[in-house]
Amino acid sequence: MEHNSFKLPFVHLLCLLLLCPLVSCQLNYKFYDYTCPNLTKIVRSGVWSAMRNDSRMAASLLRLHFHDCFVNGCDGSLLLDGGEKNAFPNRNSARGFEVIDDIKANLERACPATVSCTDILTLAAREAVYLSGGPYWFLPLGRRDGLTASESDANEQLPGFSEPLENITAKFTSKGLELKDVVVLSGAHTIGFAQCFTFKSRLFDFGGSGEPDPLLDTALLTSLQSTCPNQDDSDTKLAPLDSASSSKFDNLYYKLLLNNSGLLQSDQALMGDNTTSSLVLNYSKFPYLFSKDFGASMVKMANIGVLTGQNGEIRKNCRLVN
């Protein structure tokens, strides 16, 4: 009897140890309830103010969160000066850092040395989507901030705008995500803009052919060639990722893909695979399904490689380690 009474708790403990990495045991939905009860209110106010001043800011904050989590986990490393900020996918395009700085400053006044920059960015991305008309999802909190940032890791680990679907999928699965998450999280492109250099080859010299991408909708092609003429000084001009509703978080992105009107090559590539194209069709028909799945995928992404407990730190300044 004594042997059996010892064995049962041991088995339970073993199960917990095995499951903890999967469910992020040290993250908690009530993590700041007592130490910083106005956290959500302060973050939402900061994001709302930024969005009123800049209609592109919602997409920028969402992209910051994505680019942070995909490089060695969600640890706020992208917020550190140098390092990942200088990587090709972020240089001269990642923006919204000052919004996180302002929110952090307000939180330091309300609850000093309590809320990590990583949790601030995670919450800011959710609020940006919600305030743009998109879904709201509940987040377990308690992430801590990383101590390093790697430019080379960002160059290697972030999906590229012209990469084939299989490469992008491999990068997602390496983070514990699935093919479905590729399609769902690509739906973030229902808001925001892209610089012309990210898709200009589709307009004039697709695959070195000297011709436009034959899959690109003709009307969209004509419009984009006007916005992004085939000259170097147009590289940094902007075009909406979702030409129908670039500031409203909805499912029109998927309808555009069905019409061969995806802006980025990586977007339109979702129609070249039976599994992903089926998901695109479903999300184009059922906006509530997209909203539900988007929230679920965002929670999964926000749990990639998080630091908790005594790992990492709570930065005083999101741009610098303590």
Domain check: are 145 and 262 in the same one?
no
Last residue of a domain, one of 134, 159, 184: 159
In a domain, 186, yes or no: yes
Residue 129 placed within a domain: yes
Cα gap 131→126, rounded to integer Å: 9
Task: Tell me the C-alpha distance between 191 and 248, whole Å.
Answer: 6
User: Of these residues, 3, 12, 65, 67, which one is catalytic?
Assistant: 67
> In this predicted model, what pLDDT tens digit does every residue of 40-88 receive, in sequence order?
999 999 999 999 999 999 999 999 999 999 999 999 999 999 999 999 9
- What CATH code is carried by the domain that includes residue 207? 1.10.420.10
Helix 39-53 and helix 97-110, axial crossing angle in degrees, nearest 10: 150
Residue 7 included in any domain: no
- 158-183 as b/e: b if 16+ CB within 10 A: bbbbebebeebbebbeebebebebbb
From CA 198, how far away is CA 180, in angstroms rounded?
24
Closest CA to 254 of 227, 276, 222: 276
Structure tokens at 213: 């991408």
Domain that holds residue 196: 165-298
Tell me, yes or no, whether 199 lies in a domain.
yes
CB 120 within 8 A of CB 144: no
Q: Known catalytic residue: 67?
A: yes
Mean pLDDT of the chain: 93
Same domain, 125 and 172: no
CB 96, CB 107: distance < 8 Å? no
Q: Would you say the pTM of this structure is higher than 0.75? A: yes
Listed residues 159, 177, 205: the one ending a domain = 159
Q: Which residues, listed in sequence order, are joined to residue 28 by a DSSP beta bridge?
A: 141
318 in a domain, yes or no? no
Domain of 130, CATH number, reads: 1.10.520.10
Q: Are residues 239 and 154 in the same domain?
A: no
Binding-site members for heme b are 189
Residue 199 per-residue DSSP state? T
**Dihedral sign from CA coordinates of 6, 11, 14, 16:** negative
Examine residue 217 and state whether it is found in any structural domain, yes or no. yes
Beta bridge partners of 115: none
- For 145-191, the DSSP string reads B-S---HHHHHHHSPPTT--HHHHHHHHHTTT--HHHHHHHHGGGGS
Positions in the chain whose pLDDT score sits under 50: 1-24
pLDDT of residue 244: 87
State CA 250 to chain mean position distance.
16
Q: What residues form the annotated binding site? A: 68, 71, 73, 75, 77, 84, 159, 189-190, 242, 250
Annotated binding-site residues for substrate read 159
Q: Is residue 96 part of a domain?
A: yes
Same domain for 191 and 151, yes or no, is: no
Per-residue pLDDT reduced to its tens digit, 156-189 = 999 999 899 999 999 999 999 999 999 999 999 9
What's the pLDDT at 8?
Answer: 39
The verdict on 54 and 142 lying in the same domain is yes
Question: Considering its fold, how many domains does the chain have in total?
Answer: 2
